[in-house]
Structure 1
């Protein structure tokens, strides 16, 4: 009889634990995306999130460190979760280059989210994947930069 009571308690706790786990949405499923920076009024929250994330990466990437190690060009895919509390967690990086992986992990360790995603007026967690292309161009002269570099 004690064994049945213990098993029933165990199964009840397991069921409650499963119900307590947070559902993680993707960007397409939420009403409002997480907020990183203030965007122009013409952008919706999802476009603003993507734009803010790209701007953050471009402003904070340490290309010179990677150039010093001759690790460019390269690509990394970064998967991360933004929790209901607007905290970046579970950052996973897929790349063949350990220096690119270290730089991507450093970037996302410092990423600050102002507000979490929202669905049905409630804060929710989202999972997102972004590719990062690590690339730099070397110009032979200032004229070469003037001719080719300003197009970017």
Structure 2
């Protein structure tokens, strides 16, 4: 709950245009609210399962170990906090962990997530916050 309030406070103070409700992934899942990844509306999986699978596959398919990080022997886990806003676009909120070269790659991967149908509370689109760890292990 504290994380949700912190995210909400940051968005309201820093981005006056981002007004509205923001749910954490956990709260959204409890309420059965999730953004719809492209083509997940035709899936046999629940929207939340499809979202999770598509996100995992997206990270794997777009993952590129930065050359400079390989040369310097950098490894670690980068945690990216982002929202799928009420227009279905991705906004990165915070990136922590590992080296900045690895953080940049994690941001690139998350920003490459396709636009999707936003989560809805009733008929009103809402933003949903997610936290994703991306682990970099030298090949």
What is the TM-score normalised by the length of structure 2? 0.72
Are 2:74 and 1:71 aligned? yes
Aligned residue for 2:25? 27
Aligned residue for 2:86? 84
Q: Offset of 1:123 from its aligned partner?
A: 1.2
What is the TM-score normalised by the length of structure 1? 0.66
For the 8 Å contact 2:80–2:92, the answer to whether it is kept is: no
Structure 2 counterpart SS, 1:54: helix
Aligned residue for 2:8? none
Q: Offset of 1:64 from its aligned partner?
A: 5.5
Q: Offset of 1:136 from its aligned partner?
A: 4.5
1:10-63 CA-to-partner distances (Å, cap 9, x unmatched) read xxxxxxxx9x93120122333331122434734211111111111111000112
Aligned residues: 118
Which residue, 95, 98, 101 being the options, matches 1:99?
A: 101
For the 8 Å contact 1:37–1:52, the answer to whether it is kept is: no
Q: Which residues of structure 1 form unaligned runs of 5+? A: 1-17, 138-152
Detail structure 1 runs of 4+ shifted over 4 Å in the superposition. Answer: none
For the 8 Å contact 1:26–1:126, the answer to whether it is kept is: yes
RMSD in angstroms over aligned alpha carbons?
A: 2.4
Aligned residue for 2:13? none
Q: Which residues of structure 2 form unaligned runs of 5+? A: 1-15
* Alpha-carbon distance between aligned partners in 1 of 2:44 and 2:138, rounded to the nearest angstrom: 31
The structure that has the greater radius of gyration is 1
1:56-79 CA-to-partner distances (Å, cap 9, x unmatched) read 11000112634344223x101110
Which residue, 42, 47, 63 being the options, matches 2:49?
A: 47
* Alpha-carbon distance between aligned partners in 1 of 2:35 and 2:22, rounded to the nearest angstrom: 13
